[in-house]
Amino acid sequence: MMNGQVTLRLLYEMQNNLRLKEALKAKLARFELLDSWILYKLRSGNDKDAQLEHIADITSCTATDFGPEWKNCNIPITSSVSDQAAALFGSQCFTKGDVKVTIGTGAFLDLITGERCYASLKGMYPLVAWQFDEPIFCVEGAAHDMGTVIDWGQNCGLFAEPSVSSRIAESVTDTNGVFFVPAFSGIGPINDHKAASGFIGITPSTKREHLIRALLESIVFRLVQLSETAEKETGQKLKILKLDGGVSRNNFVCQFLADASGIHVERASNPESSVMGATYAAGINMGLWKTFNDVIKFRDVECVFEPNRENFLVIRERMNTWLKAINRFGVWYS
């Protein structure tokens, strides 16, 4: 489960699980997330009776409100950071206003807000991005149907491999009035968990290419929603979107995102930013690098997608129609 989902689940277990109740009374229970369990195993090895302090990563604690954090623990581990925070650091989003978008199974947009923690009003949520001395904060927004949409299209036989979807989508100039609502996991940031997925606008002239383009455009429209919500939440104007994750390899998605948002889209050669972020943090803590500037040389940008201003208004009109489709599919399930 995601960190933000475990707190209520734990409360339920504490109230209803008899074995857990007894263990809590005897002080024999310990709550673990994945990061704290891995840290425990790394430090205890195969010793089942090892008596070690319970530590966790602050980027996970900020999502669950559980701790303690491990800043002052004398242990030979120099980096522990949650997935999206690691991708943010690995994308070298070091200063206020820097933003990365990880597009994998789902999409996560993280925007650095600096030393200020922003309260969420429009569907984003504040987190600790990282902490070396003082914590640096970010806001995060999620759309949980990205790679799942492409996988669904493949499973339905729309295309043989995800890699060819970009070329097929580019083979037509538009979707011929077809729109897709990607709501397998609900729709955010409006937080409609009862929304349904589906195509709308299909006519006898609709072709497979139109359906595929509608799938990919829906992914981008969700990302534009996240970008605009982040701007409204923080009052910051986004200048560059740093993309990583498997879906960032799709050229159509990257270029359409630039055109639809009016923001430059930057794609690194290495899509695994989380690994790079954990590596950078470990190296800085070990003294291998002294400052953030020392790791800038390791970022290799494969491609920058420039927004085509001429396409912006046309795409905006299409997105406004897509938003009408969102309303049609909203609150479908009881």
Q: What is the pLDDT of residues 24-41, one digit of tens each?
A: 898 888 777 777 777 777
The tokens for 290 are 């002294």
**Taking 70 as the threshold, does the pLDDT of residue 73 lie above it?**
no
Q: Which residues of 44-83 are buried (b: 16+ CB within 10 A; e: fewer)?
A: eeeeeeeeeeebbbbbbbbbbebeebbeeeeeeeebbbbb
d(CA 278, CA 248): 20
The residue type of 196 is: A
Name which of 7-11, 206-210, 276-280 the model is least confident about: 7-11
Fold of 78-334: Nucleotidyltransferase; domain 5 (3.30.420)
Q: How far is CA 160 from CA 123, 145, 152, 197, 253, in A?
A: 35, 20, 11, 22, 18
Closest CA to 226 of 189, 264, 184: 189
Q: Where are the domains of the chain?
A: 1-74, 78-334
Name which of 126-130, 161-165, 187-191, 239-243 the model is least confident about: 187-191
d(CA 136, CA 138): 7
Which tops the pLDDT comparison, 146 or 74? 146
Residue 1's pLDDT band (cuts 50, 70, 90): very low
pLDDT (tens digit per residue) in 155-198: 999 999 999 999 999 999 999 999 999 999 888 666 788 999 99
The tokens for 189 are 């940031």
